[in-house]
Amino acid sequence: MRLLQFHFLLALFLPITSTYTIEHCGNSKPAIEYAITLAQTTMIQPLGDIQRGISSTHGYTAMYKSNVFKPFLQNFMANILHLPVTQAAGRVQEPAFVCVKPDMGQRYNIGYDPLDRCAQTGVTSFWAKDTVIVFLCPSFTTLKFQPLFTPGGPRNVYCPVVQKNVFVGQSDPLVKYQNYDLIHQLAHLYLQDGGLTNQTEPKEVTDWNSCVGLGWTPFEGGPSVKNPFNLIYYVAFVNQECTQMPDPFTSPFSGQNDQMGLLSSEKPSEGLTTNFTDQS
C-alpha cells in the first residue's frame, strides 16, 4: 500500500480534530454544530471509496473521469473532514459559521448585506468570497439534517435513475439537506479562487447531468474537480450506495474517447491550485 493511501486510511480511524467558530447562532448553536459534524462525517465513506478511483461503482468515473485527480480529491475531502485552518485574503484563518442577522455587512467587511443574499431564491447558505466565512441564512434550518434511511435497510432509496445515458428526475431528494449544503460551501471555502463560481469560465453548475458533462482533462485545468457539486453528488452516491451512472465518454456527453488512456494515470495534475492543508 502506498504511503499516501495509508495516511488517508489512517485518518478515517482517528478522532476528528477541527478548528472552527460558530457565531451569532444563539440557541441554535448546538443544532448548527450537529449539522457541521454531519457534513464532516459524510466524507468518511467517500474517502474510503476514492481509493478505488475509476474502479468505484458509485460515480467516481461519472463525476471525475480519471484517476489523475485522486491525490487532489483525497486532500480536498480530508480538509472538509477535519476543517483545518486555511488561507484567505493573505492570512491563515479558521473557518467560521455565521448565522445571518441584520446589518452584518459592515461587521464582517464584505461590502454587502448577507440578508440580501439570503433573500435570493434557493439560497440557504453561502461562502463569502475571499474569506473563510460560511453564512447560514434563516432558511438553512428549514432543511432536514441529512437523508433518512433505516439502519441495516436499503440505502439506495434516494438514488437517481439513468435513461438514455442521462440522469432523470430531480436531485433534491438526494442532496437537499443541511450536510450537503454545508459541503457545498466548504468546498468553495477550501478551493477559494480555485473553484468554479457564477463568475468563472466555465461557470459553476449544479445540475447532475451538467456535472457529468464538465471538462476534465489536465489541459482544461480539471473543471470537474473544481466544481463543488461534482463532489456533492459523488459523496451522496457513495453514502447512498448508488450504482446507476451515465457514461461520460459517450453521447450526449463527451467525445473524448480518444483520451481514455489518461484514465489509468496516477500523475497529479499541475493545473490545479488550492489553499488546502496537507492532511498527509
Spatial separation of the C-alpha atoms in residues 224 and 69, rounded to whole Å: 10
**Residue-wise DSSP of 62-77:** HHH--GGGHHHHHHHH
Residue among 140, 166, 192 at smallest CA distance from 245: 166
Q: Where are the beta strands (DSSP E) in 195-257?
A: none
pLDDT per residue over 13-35, tens digit each? Answer: 555 667 899 999 999 999 999 99
CB-based contact 108:128 (threshold 8 Å):
yes
Residue 263's alpha-carbon distances to 54, 57, 66, 167, in angstroms, are 7, 15, 4, 22
Spatial separation of the C-alpha atoms in residues 267 and 234, rounded to whole Å: 21
pTM: 0.86
- CA 73-183-199 angle, to 5 degrees, is 85
Residue 236's alpha-carbon distances to 81, 106, 155, 210, in angstroms, are 15, 36, 11, 16
pLDDT per residue over 102-160, tens digit each? Answer: 989 989 999 999 999 999 999 999 999 999 999 999 999 999 998 875 555 556 678 99
Rounded to 10 degrees, the C-alpha dihedral 1/227/247/210 comes to: 170
Spatial separation of the C-alpha atoms in residues 32 and 35, rounded to whole Å: 5
**Residue-wise DSSP of 79-144:** HHHH---EEETTEEE--EEEE--TT-TTTTT-SS-HHHHHTSTT-SEEEPTTSSEEEE-GGGGGS-
Name the DSSP letter for residue 253.
S
pLDDT per residue over 106-118, tens digit each? Answer: 899 999 999 999 9
Helix (H), strand (E) at residue 178: helix 178-191
78 has pLDDT over 90: yes
Rounded to 10 degrees, the C-alpha dihedral 186/189/192/194 comes to: -10
Place of cell 472552527: 20
Rounded to 10 degrees, the C-alpha dihedral 179/146/16/97 comes to: 30
Percent of the chain with pLDDT over 90: 71
Side-chain half-sphere of 34: how many Cα atoms within 13 Å?
Answer: 10
73 has pLDDT over 90: yes
CB-based contact 183:224 (threshold 8 Å):
no
Name the DSSP letter for residue 220.
G
pLDDT per residue over 248-277, tens digit each? Answer: 999 999 654 433 333 333 443 444 444 544
> Which amino acid is located at 184 in the chain?
H
